[in-house]
A = this chain, B = another copy of it.
Amino acid sequence: MAGKILIVDDEQEVLSMLRRYFLLDGYEVITATGGQEALQKLAGMPDIILLDINMPDIDGLSLCKSIRDFVSCPILFLTANIEDSDKIKGFSVGGDDYIVKPFSIDELGARVSAHLRREKRGKHKSKVFFDNAFAIDYAERAVYFNGEEIPLLKKEFDIIEVLSQNPGQVFDKERLYEAAWGIDGLGNNSVIAEHIRKIRAKFAAAHAKQYIETVWGVGYKWQK
C-alpha cells in the first residue's frame, strides 16, 4: 500500500482523473468535492492531502488553516492560476507544497511520493532487535547476528524486509512477490523459493535462527 490520499476538488473531472491515476499507483484514494465534505473525510486519517484552492464553499487556504492544528500530514495545494499563487504568497506557508495547474500528472505523483517518503523516513527507527542476538537495520540494509553482519544480496534483503516488518503475517507468494518486487504478476513460483533458500543457507552458515517459516500450501512468514 503506497498510502492513503485525500483529494479535494470541486471539479468532478479533475477528481476522477486524479483518483484513477493514484489508484493505479497503488494508493487508497478518498475524495471530497468541497471543504465541508473534506472535513468529514478527514476521519479517514489520510497520509497526504491534495487541496484545490478555488472551491465554492470553503476555499482551500482557509480549510488548510483550520485543520492544521490537528492534521499533521503533508498538504499540497493545487492552484488553478497565477493569481492564486499570489494569494498564497500573501497568505504564505500554510501548506507543504504548491503545484500550479496545468501540471504534469507525473510531476504531481513524484511530489506526492517525495513528501510521503520524507514523512516515513522521519518516523521510522532503523535498527530493530528481534532477539538478543538478531537485529535488522533497515537504513543500512543489513542483518546482524551476534554483532556480525550476515551479507545479503538485494532481493534477499527485500524479502526479509517485507516479512520482518510484518512478523507473524503470512504472505502468499503473489503478495510477497508484489511487495518485494514492486510489481504483480508472478510467473515462476521458484523465483521466491530460490531466494528463500539462499537466505536460509546464509542464516544457517551464521548459526542464526531461521526466522522465515514455510506455511505449507500458502506461503511464508516471519516468526515472531
- Chain A residues within 8 Å of B, Cβ to Cβ: 11, 13-14, 17-18, 20, 24, 65, 68-69, 72, 80-81, 85, 88-98, 101-106, 108, 110, 114-115, 118, 126, 137, 139-142, 153-155, 168-170, 184-185, 215-218, 221
Contact = CB atoms under 8 A, between A and B. Distances in A.
B217 A24 contact: no
Contact of A92 (B11, B118, B169, B215): B11
A21 B113 CA distance: 20
B169 A140 contact: yes
A13 B126 CA distance: 36
A216 B154 contact: yes
Contacts of A153: 216
Contacts of A72: 24
Contacts of A169: 126, 139-140
B89 A93 contact: no
A60 to B, nearest CB: 13
Given A141-B218, A169-B140, A96 B101 contact: no
B104 A88 contact: no
A93 to B, nearest CB: 5
A90 B108 CA distance: 17
A140 B216 contact: no
24 contacts: A13-B65, A13-B91, A14-B93, A17-B92, A18-B93, A20-B69, A80-B90, A92-B101, A93-B101, A93-B102, A93-B103, A98-B104, A106-B115, A114-B184, A126-B169, A139-B170, A140-B168, A140-B169, A141-B170, A141-B215, A142-B168, A154-B216, A154-B217, A154-B218
